[in-house]
Amino acid sequence: MVEYLPRSAWNARPPNGGPGNLTVSRVQGAVIHWPGTGTTTGIHSMAAVASALRGWQNYHMDDRGWSDIAYQVAVDQAGRAWTLRGLRTQSGANGNNDLNERYGAVLLILVTGEQPTAAMKSTTRGVIADFRRIYPAGTAIRPHSAVRPDGTDCPGPAARAAIARGDFTPTSSEDTMTPAQMQELKNFIEARSQAYALWVHRQLRRDLSAVVQAYALDIKNYERQTDAADAQRAAAAVWATAPDNLVSGEPKPAPDPQPEPEPGTAPYLLLPEPEPMPTVDTTPDAEPAQPSPDGQPETGTDPEPNPTHLQ
């Protein structure tokens, strides 16, 4: 899962309008670029990358007259992903309006003679995986030199070789869950846990209430049976010691037979069946509406082709 540094991380200028968002149905893939600085001095530290991004944005906006830095996302040799225009916004780097509408643009911060690091490759695969989630038909990964009509050396021999080897093609492990899907799963687990806790609470209350009622009934039956037995024994003792002619001189009558206590009168504690587990609505939220493209082409004499000295 890729974590993208925001535009504020490189102190980006706000864009001047722009062409709007890409149309999902038109996107065919992503194009890989490099800055083409002509130098062999690496741009590796976070501060150096941020400074370079500001310089390229100034050139694109002030010298070329474009709305913003041309690319959507940049990936450096440390594996950091930098938000430029963002994956949903149409780039201005591929050569003409048609190419910019059909392809995204990922900038690899490489210099002449430099090979992509394992961290750069891994993050780029993650960026491409995110790109494909937004644009399911945009599976192509192409070097800029393969699409630009006027020709270019971009993104350099090392990146072209990496593309040909599949070094930037996402693997199954990198194409698992989006941050939104992770949040959706987290929300589901929390909701399910709360529902289960509520169910357990209600069930325990029902069970405890049944136990208390059964115990109270058992006590009453026991007391009733004990009292009856005690009364019977007391009466028998009195008549046994009384004279035969206690009152009238007639033989004392036999005591009335007393009913035997009912055996097994304690209630059988059969607890009620548990209520069914409450259900949780797992229907995913609808996709938030995206702003519609304003359709305005980039300003300037060139519809944002990649500059010859800043490819």
Output the pTM of the full model: 0.58
Q: What is the pLDDT of residues 2-52, one digit of tens each?
A: 899 999 999 999 999 888 999 999 999 999 999 987 888 999 999 999 999
Q: Which helix (H) or strand (E) holds 29?
A: strand 29-33
Query: Residue 305 above 70 pLDDT?
Result: no
Of 27-36, 142-151, 158-167, 221-230, the range with the lowest mean pLDDT is: 221-230
Domain region containing 185: 177-239+254-280
Residues 165 and 74 in one domain: yes
Residues 195 and 132 in one domain: no
Residue 184 lies in a domain: yes
Residues 133 and 214 in one domain: no
95/88 Cα distance (integer angstroms): 18
Domain CATH for 105: 3.40.80.10
Give the count of domains, the chain.
Answer: 2
Residues 88 and 107 in one domain: yes
Last residue within a domain, chosen from 176, 207, 231: 176
Q: Which helix (H) or strand (E) holds 33?
A: strand 29-33
Backbone angles phi, psi at 108, to 5 degrees: -95, 125
pLDDT > 90 fraction of the chain, expressed in percent and rounded? 49
According to the model, what pLDDT value does residue 198 have? 83
Residue 28 lies in a domain: yes
Q: pLDDT band at 309, cuts 50/70/90?
A: very low
According to the model, what pLDDT value does residue 297 have? 41
Are residues 88 and 290 in contact, defined by beta-carbon separation less than 8 angstroms?
yes
With 0-12 CB in 10 A as exposed, 13-18 as middle and 19+ as buried, what is 100? buried
Q: What is the pLDDT of residues 40-84, one digit of tens each?
A: 899 999 999 999 999 999 999 999 999 999 999 999 999 999 999
Residues 134 and 12 in one domain: yes
Q: Pinpoint the alpha helices (H) of 6-144.
A: 46-58, 97-102, 118-134
Q: What is the pLDDT of residues 90-113, one digit of tens each?
A: 999 999 999 999 999 999 999 999
